[in-house]
Amino acid sequence: MGFKDIHFYALSDDDPFWQVKESEKLKFEPRKKQSEPRMLVVHSKTGQEVQAFTAGQHSHEHAHGEAKYEKYVYSSTFGFSTPKGSVLLKQGAFDNTLAVSETENFWQTAFKYEHYAIHDDYVYSDWKPWSDVEIKNYVIPQMPWHIRIHQINTRRTINVAEGGFAAPDYGIPGQQVLDTDVKNAVFYQTEVGIMGLVGLSEELKVALTEPEPNTNLYFPKTKIPLQTGVLKPGEYTLISLYLGDRELESLDEREQIVLPEISLNGNQVSFTLDGNTTKITLAEFR
């Protein structure tokens, strides 16, 4: 019998297999580029939260393939959502993805990218929902934050909706929308962690939304921070910040919310948090 043929879960509780101690040499890297599954996998400081940033994944044979494979990021804490329909925004439950439509109905998200790249510090993808609309996406992990930059070139008027992480909505103590002075932003605290969205582009407005129930993999009811707007024909560069933090216990005190500083100069992105600055070069940015 080969190693791959062993059914581990059939072993008894006192089997020597379960007594083997974990190797101290096994440590997760804070950030790991995985070219084969087309992921940039990032761990939090304690390793409790794992986020997989994807680009170029595609499956046309599975139900809801665009939700299961082609979102910007998948979280071990917040899970992901699959749509009940595409007519209304609340049916789509568009967490961690960008949805577009020509009206306020019949939304679509990325389904097969034109191009993609997995870099050491960001992922890139190029999507054409219509022949005269091109959307280039740059997603930059900076745990527990991440940055999204979209270059949109459209020759038609389009409606845009983009969501952050989904979090449970049970109406229990500890679940609350946090009151902050941050412009065009929302933060939502739950028992599993804190998520938030900061919109840095005037074309889109941020709100905390309630998608239809039973759309999320983990939670029967959720809230999703969503930014929406209408883009007329033209060229746009949209920038936003997303927070998905399992390890921050509370944001009750306003001073605990520490926003990163973001700047984009040509194809250079600068991210500053707690006095530490990281600079990222976007190779595909034009």
Helix (H, G, I), strand (E, B) or coil at 4: helix
Closest CA to 55 of 96, 93, 85: 96
Percentage of the residues of the chain whose pLDDT score is greater than 90: 66
pLDDT at position 136, please?
97
Where residue 253 falls among pLDDT bands split at 50, 70, 90? Answer: very low
* Burial (CB count <10 Å: 0-12, 13-18, 19+), residue 118: buried
pLDDT tens-digit readout, 153-182? 999 999 999 999 999 998 887 788 988 889
Closest CA to 168 of 220, 211, 212, 222: 222
Where residue 286 falls among pLDDT bands split at 50, 70, 90? Answer: confident
Closest CA to 167 of 81, 276, 253, 262: 81
Token pair listed for 13: 């509780």
Q: How much is the mean pLDDT over the chain?
A: 89
DSSP H/E element including 36: none
Where residue 5 falls among pLDDT bands split at 50, 70, 90? Answer: low
pLDDT at position 1, please?
40
pTM over 0.85: yes
Where residue 34 falls among pLDDT bands split at 50, 70, 90? Answer: confident
Where residue 102 falls among pLDDT bands split at 50, 70, 90? Answer: very high
pLDDT at position 252, please?
53
pLDDT tens-digit readout, 183-231? 999 999 999 999 999 999 999 999 999 999 999 999 999 999 999 999 9
The DSSP secondary-structure symbol of 160 reads: E
Strand 167-168 with 115-118, pairing: unpaired
Q: Does the structure show a pLDDT above 90 at 13?
A: no
* Mean pLDDT, rounded, for 250-266: 75
Q: Does the structure show a pLDDT above 70 at 251?
A: no
Q: CB under 8 Å to 281, separation ≥6 — which residues?
A: 267, 268, 269
Where residue 240 falls among pLDDT bands split at 50, 70, 90? Answer: very high
What is the rounded CA–CA span in Å between residue 119 and residue 3? 34
Q: Does the structure show a pLDDT above 90 at 30?
A: no
Higher pLDDT, 83 or 20: 83
Higher pLDDT, 222 or 246: 222
